[in-house]
Chains A and B, each alone.
Chain A
Amino acid sequence: MTGDFYKEHVVRAGSLVHVAAVSIAALVLLALLDPLAAADRKFYDDDPIAVEPDPQDASKVLPWDIDLIWDLSYNTFARPGDSTPNVRARNINTIDEVPDSSWFTNRILARSVSDSEAARGPLTGEGPAPGRWSVIARKSAGAAPGFTVRDARDQVWFVSFDGAGHPEAATGALLVANKIFWTLGYWQVENYLTSVRLDNLDIAETATFESRPGHKKVMERGDLEDVLRQAHRSADGSYRAVAARAIPGTPLGGFRYHGTRSDDPNDVVPHEHRRELRALKVFAAWVNLTDMKAGNTLDTRVTENGRTIVRHYLQDVGSALGSGALGPHDPDEGWEYLFDGDKMTKRAVSFGFYLQPWQTASYEKHVAAGRFEGDAFDPPAWRPRTPSGAFVRARPDDTFWAARRVQAFSSEMIRAIVKSGGYSDPNAERYIADTLIKRRDKVSAAYLPTVNPLVGFALGEDGALTFENAAIKADTAAPPSGGYTARWATFDNATGTTQPLGETSAPQTTLASPPGLARTTGTFVQVAVTALDQRYPSWGAPVTVHFKRQPQNWKLVGIERLP
């Protein structure tokens, strides 16, 4: 028996050594033969791609449950994900943009979005059907009171309420943030503002809820009343609520902000290196979405055009503006992580006199707005309740990408979106919109000038390179005192080598090309553009752009803001 045990383990150990040796050999072989590593092209004919393909069948992806406390603890006290520092986002295309995918759909900035479209957001219909609702389950996740109902059209809705004593705060924040994140490009739930009366609710015979862990209880009228007791009741006896349409597909649990889902074949980019997830550092700061745990996300398995894929939702964006599920944000929410060792130590030894802005910031008092302000808001200093792998890895090119989208929300669009929050107090509505506008401008000022902010490159038939300075356009920076300089070179797509062509300069955002610019179809030109101004040292690092000659024009195929 002992011998068998010994033998089995020796064999297993030997197999592991064998696997490791073969794998290493294969990796060496790969390094030697990989055409990308050796001399493969930098640009393909279909660059820049607009859509990230999901070609693999994901029908075998299994639901999982990400434990809340583990998720919070691990993200708070560890640094999950790739330990390599300063990694450029890995899901961007060759022009530094995020292709559409099961994670993200380019909307604002990428195309024209009207105010009304933004204010409607993800909504495709008219909300729950009027008539009696049948309660089929009580809400089991999250702090907000709520339950699941089936309406007269047999459509399932998840209904959530404002906390008692805080009318319009939680529901308003959810509706506003929902539209903003949809406009930004994230998959969002359809949330409709509605009203519920207790006497309009029936309890389905099959309705149960988990009265305690592991124990299902048949729902009774008293259980329904228990839920509504936590909710804010209007003077007429009704309850203002948000009805969320059930997301299409099979729920699979949330996604983490690091690593990949091991059973999803299409999930190949570590989430901490996905730009749209890193960009949440900016978007969440703007709308003060403080609760960014995995539990507020949702993966669903959907089948479209005969192929099954996993779609990734920011499912619950309700802890935004100044409100949590049951009341206003804690005073430090949005300002500090739940655990910040450095600040904790400084406060401990200073008897609390190490003051932070959240302790002195002033808030205009509106119950519906909660603790939401824009004067003391400092975007880079903003913090969610817990850090995430993507949040801590956001680089200046990621935050620049995000800030441009925030800046693209016009004040009118913001007011239209806030109006969709259904606030009954016009002063509260005005204050929330004003604050979002103020915070938008602070986001722009913080993140647009901190990298070389040149965008919108085009190379004309006359050889003139035109572009825009996004920071100047947003009134967050002055024109560079030293003007703009471009270093031109031919680019060999096969080898990656360059041949200098010359340097041109101009005070404006149009630069002539040097003599000798080749115009043969298929040739590439590389231009490294800098702006010179001591006030903006980061503008001295070039934005490197590549154009490919087409029969009729130059096609922009590459933008590299930060290597």
Chain B
Amino acid sequence: MRRLALAVVLALLSGVTHAAAQESRQQLLEQEKAAKAAAVVPYEPDKAEKIFNWAMDSFLLSPQGFLPLITSIPKGDNVFHGGGIAWGAMYRGFLGDRAGWSASGLVSIPGYTHADVSIDALRLARGRLALRGGAGWTSGARIPFYGVGAGSSQENQTNFGVEMGYVGAQLRATPLPWFVLEGSTAIEDFSTKEGSGSKPSIETVFTFPDVPGLLSAPRYLHSSASAGIDWRPVAGFAKRGRPVVGYARSGGLYQVTYHDYRDADETYSFSRVDAEAVQHIPILRENWVVSLRGLVQTTLDDADVVPHFLMPMLGSGDSLRAFGTARFHDRHSMLMQAEWRWIPNRSFMDMALFYDAGKVAADRNGLDFDGLEHDFGVGLRVHGPLTTPLRIDLAKGREGFRIVWAGSAVF
């Protein structure tokens, strides 16, 4: 400290004495630099910069090591609804230069839990192949259920619980940049049980066979294959389920997916086809974007018994947004969504007026435009170039208003 004080005084006083002696501008400038030379120190980031860099390196930029997670419980194939925002942690590591592994765990406020270990090889065959394998376990104890059919009543809301263990693999091939082929196979071991929470448990209101698979425990070999064209600029690769888009303002997706669920004892085996179309139409250099989505899910064989928790479903933050989560279940469903998006900030934010319409039906012939449930609303989305970490939608339908808080793009 004394040396520092001495240095300060010497530097300042030397400035005085030398300045007094200056006879030229050159000398004056040289003296100013001489004063600094007496006090040079290596650069040291201030506290704010240190904290910022530590946070970025630790949680966002580092591709390996621990990082915190704030996200949603993975829904599987439309099973785990109502989990809300989940917190957890992930550890990521590398396996060579083109593959990695991760282990993650999540817990949500309603008590849903999820654990997963997976291996990813995303850049095989010059980036044209991506392979993922993994195993995990998910449980939810307050999954809403209102009954099967379009006429289900809001008053009949119940809860049920599901646990699912899984192990499987998924392959994605892009022989052309816009042509996507996917295949997956997995063993999915379900165990359904009584629900918890403030609503009645499912078995106290509904009975078999009105609700297929009530409190059942099927073990499936679930295989899927899909083909599609996808020229959205930032399409990603979903961990399980359909491809996801972090954030897109242009391009489109047209994809058909075949699901085959083989129950180990054949009781609940079924097949389903999903057809999805997404189109983003930018207007005036993406000042506005008209975004359209259509999704049809249809069970192929009328004789198959589909457990209620694997039936096509509508009502959630990304389908009929003004309706309760998993509000409608049946063997077939159709959904149409339209958003008029405007972009307050190209890098961080967009907003939308939206309209959703859809229905579920027991027969495929019932997938018509009569009796559509619909809603409308306005939304705000905070996004980055690849992700939408926050989406807030306010929706209004015949059952009232709902606010959707989500950590992903709607489509």
Contacts and interface: CB of A to CB of B under 8 A. Distances in A.
Q: Do A and B come from one complex?
A: yes
Contact of B37 (A23, A49, A64, A265): A265
B19 A36 contact: yes
B238 interface: no
Interface string A327-343: 00011100000111001
Interface stretch (A167-175, A347-355, A456-464, A475-483): A347-355
Contact of B28 (A44, A338, A359): A44
Contacts of B62: 213
B36 A56 contact: yes
A339 B16 contact: no
A16 B2 CA distance: 9
Given A34-B16, A69-B56, A211-B97, A347 B63 contact: no
B43 A229 contact: no
Interface in B374-394: none
Contacts of B32: 268
A70 B344 contact: no
Contact of B1 (A12, A212, A268): A12
A126 interface: no
A22 B342 contact: no
B15 to A, nearest CB: 7
A35 B20 contact: yes
Interface string B28-67: 1110111011001111100001001100100001111000
B53 A70 contact: yes
A381 interface: no
B346 interface: yes
A30 B12 contact: yes
Interface string A18-36: 1100110011011001111
Given A18-B1, A352-B287, A26 B43 contact: no
A55 interface: yes
Contacts of A359: 284-285, 287
A45 interface: yes
A53 interface: yes
A23 B9 contact: yes
Interface in A57-89: 57, 60, 62, 64, 67, 69-70, 73-74
A332 B346 contact: yes
A332 B286 CA distance: 10
Nearest to B44: A262
Contacts, number: 168
Given A15-B2, A340-B345, A45 B29 contact: no
A561 B274 CA distance: 72
B347 interface: yes
Interface string B78-104: 000000000000000010010000000
A264 interface: yes
A461 to B, nearest CB: 26
Interface string B331-363: 000000000001111111101010000000000
Contacts of B126: 225-226, 229
Contacts of B349: 344, 348
A238 B126 CA distance: 20
Contacts of B49: 67, 70, 74
A46 interface: yes
B26 interface: yes
B74 to A, nearest CB: 26
B36 A16 contact: no
A54 B5 contact: no
A46 B40 contact: no
B365 interface: no
B235 to A, nearest CB: 18
Given A56-B37, A268-B36, A339-B348, A33 B16 contact: yes
A266 B344 CA distance: 44
B216 interface: no
Nearest to A47: B25
A264 B33 CA distance: 9
A261 interface: yes
A223 to B, nearest CB: 9
Given A33-B16, A53-B26, A55-B34, A352 B342 contact: yes
Contacts of A44: 22-25, 28
B264 interface: no
B288 interface: yes
B344 A345 contact: yes
Contacts of B52: 67, 69-70, 73
Nearest to B25: A44
A1 B237 CA distance: 58
A331 B286 contact: yes
18 contacts: A15-B1, A18-B2, A19-B4, A19-B8, A26-B8, A26-B9, A29-B12, A44-B22, A45-B23, A46-B26, A55-B34, A73-B52, A94-B25, A212-B63, A265-B37, A344-B344, A347-B342, A352-B344
Interface of B: 1-2, 4-5, 8-9, 12-13, 15-16, 19-20, 22-26, 28-30, 32-34, 36-37, 40-44, 49, 52-53, 56, 61-64, 94, 97, 126, 284-288, 342-349, 351, 353
Going nearest first, the 10 A-B pairs with the smallest beta carbon separation are A352-B342, A15-B1, A265-B37, A331-B285, A348-B344, A347-B344, A26-B12, A344-B344, A44-B25, A19-B5
Given A46-B24, A225-B126, 10 more contacts: A29-B12, A36-B19, A262-B40, A262-B41, A262-B42, A263-B43, A264-B40, A330-B346, A340-B345, A347-B345
